[in-house]
């Protein structure tokens, strides 16, 4: 089966996509999945722990409802054009929001094939079948396979604290956004909470990157990306300024 005609319009000419299964495409060879959550049991732990509302409230000091609000606000800030959920995970926080986004093309990108399948399942469960304007893409956030100036909105929940090379990720987001396009991001940061010890332990194990709010904002300034931000607990909410 060939790549959807709609999706092919935004893919760089030098990129070949493989169809993994209906509505899920990959830049990788069939059977190749470098995502950290594709190891045995990792995606289940992701859903049970990282996506658990009590865990996030107690450990990191925010409500997972804030994700849905951020996503809704970003979608409402532009009423047409392509949307990308970058490092979308399993859509544990936002599936219901996207299920009501029936009039715009949306790409869900993640490096984990297992999480993409979970996200697709969640949308299909809500919608009955996957809308023709929605696509799941197995690819790397640091080397996105898109043409420049494509997306009207980029939403990314909790990607930046998972990658060391934050500036390359921001450069890619800036490259694929249209002029005047909006972005909405979240990432864990240092705070004055007791959870800083836990955060530092995770960073020491290589699971997360430990950054201060000032370090985060400095990276956006270096990329000449004007932002507004708010920190709730250990979570920073970043919007285009």
Segment (H or E) for 237: strand 235-240
Indicate the range of 46-55, 89-98, 131-140 predicted with least confidence.
Answer: 46-55
Q: How does the average pLDDT of the chain come out, rounded?
A: 91
Gap between the Cα atoms of 164 and 210, Å rounded: 9
- Kindly report, residue by residue over 195-208, the tens digit of the pLDDT: 999 999 999 998 89
Gap between the Cα atoms of 16 and 217, Å rounded: 35
Residue 50's pLDDT band (boundaries 50, 70, 90)? Answer: confident
Gap between the Cα atoms of 105 and 115, Å rounded: 20
Segment (H or E) for 106: strand 106-110
Strand 151-157 to 177-188 pairing:
parallel
Q: Give the mean model confidence (pLDDT) for residues 118-132.
A: 92
- Kindly report, residue by residue over 74-88, the tens digit of the pLDDT: 999 888 899 999 999
Gap between the Cα atoms of 217 and 227, Å rounded: 8
């Amino acid at each position: 089966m060939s790549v959807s005609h709609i999706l092919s319009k935004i893919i760089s000419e030098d990129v070949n996509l493989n169809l993994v299964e209906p509505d899920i495409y990959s830049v990788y060879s069939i059977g190749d999945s470098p995502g950290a959550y594709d190891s045995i049991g990792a995606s289940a732990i992701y859903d049970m722990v990282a996506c658990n509302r009590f865990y996030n409230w107690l450990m990191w000091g925010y409500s997972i409802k804030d994700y849905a609000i951020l996503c809704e606000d970003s979608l409402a800030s532009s009423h047409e054009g392509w949307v990308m959920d970058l490092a979308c995970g399993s859509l544990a926080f936002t599936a219901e929001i996207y299920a009501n986004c029936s009039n715009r093309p949306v790409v869900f990108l993640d490096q984990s094939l297992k999480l993409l399948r979970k996200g697709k399942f969640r949308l299909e469960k809500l919608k009955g079948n996957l809308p023709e304007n929605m696509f799941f893409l197995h690819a790397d956030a640091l080397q996105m396979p898109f043409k420049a100036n494509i997306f009207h909105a980029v939403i990314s929940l909790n990607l930046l604290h998972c990658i060391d090379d934050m500036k390359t990720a921001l450069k890619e987001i800036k490259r694929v956004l249209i002029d005047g396009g909006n972005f909405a991001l979240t990432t864990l940061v240092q705070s004055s909470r007791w959870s800083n010890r836990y955060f530092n332990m995770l960073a020491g194990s290589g699971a997360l990157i430990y950054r201060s709010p000032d370090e985060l904002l400095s990276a956006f300034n270096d990329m000449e990306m004007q932002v507004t931000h708010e920190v709730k607990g250990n979570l920073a909410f970043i919007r285009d300024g």
